[in-house]
Structure 1
Amino acid sequence: MTLTPARKAELRERYLKVDTANVADILDEMGHPDHGLASSFWPIRESQNKMAGWAYTVRGQMTPYPGTGDPAKMEAVSGLEPGSISVWSGGGAQGVCFFGELIARGMQHRGCAGSLIDGGIRDIEWIAQMNFPVFTQYRSPVQSIGRWQVNAWQVPVYLPGATVDRVTVRPDDFILADFDGVMLIPQELVETVLEKAEALTRKEAAIREDLDRGMTLPDVLAKYGHV
């Protein structure tokens, strides 16, 4: 899929106006039922509970190594583009943080729209002040230096799923996250899913109006079908 930066920005802004629940329903209808991510991902701040963007993947592993930093991590995040979501994979249950406030700030300055982390973060109070949404698995003050190291980026990665053990996230797949959780939209379906989700959003708005005017649930079901 090749989209211009302007088109990608337009799609991202439109996705921010639909809900993960509607996207999940549309993917089910289209025969793609296993693109929800595990409910263990949570937003670090309720006021920054929604993010949308194009997956930029970073993969690492628990491994002891000497030195005072991880040059591969710095090189990896230098490739981030505006509207991207940095997706971090590798050893999510190991108890170390993958990044903190300073690297998050650097990513934000590159136009990164948020981060999805199958692992931990620290400096949450500072990150929460940045208007930079982050969905993560856990928090930990323990740094990754000497313990966890980036070994690849912009490659397919696995993240834990809601209905399957693993969901494959590829570079330029689309990530939508809100209060209900996180959905992956395969890159080849991004435009179709969005159009259908927007239509469902309009349908639900009409249903709310009818219910508020006193229509019963059986009447709504007869008029609109599944609700």
Structure 2
Amino acid sequence: MSSPDVLAALSSVTTATLTTILFKKGLRNVWLRGTAPLAAGQQRVAGPAFTLRFLPQREDLATPAAWSSPTSTRAAVEAMPAGCVVVADTAGIADAGIFGDILCARMRQRQVAGLVTAGAVRDRAGIVQTGLPVWCSAAAAPPAVAQLAFVGWQQPVACGGVAVFPQDIIVADEDGAIVIPAALTGEVAAQALEQERTEAWILDQVLQGAPLTGLYPLSPENQARYEAYSKGRDG
């Protein structure tokens, strides 16, 4: 699959399915803890990670000058490419909002796909109005500079206890956000699509009253039944 096809495929499957596929490949720590949807009904997003890194604030750095520094969140927003998913490392701090409605509105204008952080945002209502999908752990009134120092973008970061590198693929839905290593995305996307088709058939069997034994996971007999169904569906 080409890159646009891969992203389209990943946008069509759940993070639950994707974590199962990654688990089978030996990757267990891929779910970014503390990343919950800011608003109900947010669309699922998938895109390359654009990483932001914050450190705990120091008093000599906590000045208004930080907002106009060349290394500022404002400058980072202007470097974000269309379709990226912003992943912000807040060093485990969630009592200051890293972004508010104005920065999120600009991100939306730049066609950023979404924002993911285990930290907090501020201006919750205003952010929701921008339409930017956001996953975070909380909303907090204080500005980021009260607790955090922004130190750069497009570096390896830690978010929710998970390592994220620029260009890794982030997928986020109602169950939170996950990371897929860039080198595995095509393979994972193909397997995830097939798993969702299989599980849709299994669910249909369950709704018809079939017992789980031999069905979930599939026994050889039920595997053959599923394959016959797939041939009939595709042929």
TM-score band by shorter chain is: 0.7 to 0.9
Q: Please tell me whether Structure 1 or Structure 2 has the larger radius of gyration of its CA atoms.
A: 2
- Which of 26, 33, 36 is 1:42 aligned to? 36
Q: 1:125 to 1:94 in 2, by over 3 A?
A: closer
Amino acid at match of 1:179: E
SS of 1:102's equivalent in the other structure is: helix
Instruction: Measure, in 1, the Cα distance between the counterparts of 2:213 and 2:74.
Output: 57
SS of 1:91's equivalent in the other structure is: coil
RMSD of equivalent CA atoms: 2.0
Give the TM-score normalised by the residue count of structure 1.
0.86
Q: 1:9 to 1:67 in 2, by over 3 A?
A: same
SS of 1:183's equivalent in the other structure is: strand
- Which of 192, 198, 206 is 1:197 aligned to? 192
Quote the sequence identity (%).
26
Report if aligned partners of 1:66, 1:146 keep a CA contact under 8 Å in 2. Answer: no
For structure 2, the residue ranges without an aligned partner over 5 or more in a row are 225-235
Shift of 1:18: 0.2
Report if aligned partners of 1:70, 1:145 keep a CA contact under 8 Å in 2. Answer: no
Superposition pairs for residues 62-81 of structure 1, below 5 Å? 62-64=57-59, 65-67=62-64, 69-71=67-69, 72-81=72-81
Report if aligned partners of 2:108, 2:131 keep a CA contact under 8 Å in 1. Answer: no
Partner of 1:114: 114
Instruction: Measure, in 1, the Cα distance between the counterparts of 2:123 and 2:146.
Output: 19
Report if aligned partners of 1:92, 1:137 keep a CA contact under 8 Å in 2. Answer: no
- Which of 49, 52, 62 is 1:58 aligned to? 52
Shift of 1:129: 2.2
Shift of 1:142: 0.6
Report if aligned partners of 1:57, 1:154 keep a CA contact under 8 Å in 2. Answer: yes
Report if aligned partners of 1:12, 1:83 keep a CA contact under 8 Å in 2. Answer: no
Partner of 1:152: 152
Shift of 1:12: 2.1
SS of 1:127's equivalent in the other structure is: helix
- Which of 12, 19, 33 is 2:28 aligned to? 33
Q: 1:41 to 1:85 in 2, by over 3 A?
A: same
Report if aligned partners of 2:31, 2:179 keep a CA contact under 8 Å in 1. Answer: yes
Amino acid at match of 1:140: A
- Cα deviation, 1:43-71, whole Å, max 9, x if unaligned, reads 11111163221100010122332225243
Shift of 1:75: 1.3
Give the TM-score normalised by the residue count of structure 2.
0.84
Instruction: Measure, in 2, the Cα distance between the counterparts of 1:147 and 1:67.
Output: 13
Report if aligned partners of 1:73, 1:149 keep a CA contact under 8 Å in 2. Answer: no
Report if aligned partners of 1:43, 1:49 keep a CA contact under 8 Å in 2. Answer: no
Report if aligned partners of 2:95, 2:147 keep a CA contact under 8 Å in 1. Answer: no
Instruction: Measure, in 2, the Cα distance between the counterparts of 1:103 and 1:156.
Output: 22
Shift of 1:111: 1.2
Question: Is residue 167 of structure 2 the alignment partner of residue 172 of structure 1?
Answer: yes
For structure 1, the residue ranges without an aligned partner over 5 or more in a row are 161-165
Superposition pairs for residues 94-133 of structure 1, below 5 Å? 94-133=94-133
Moved beyond 3 Å, runs of 4+: 7-10
Shift of 1:94: 4.8
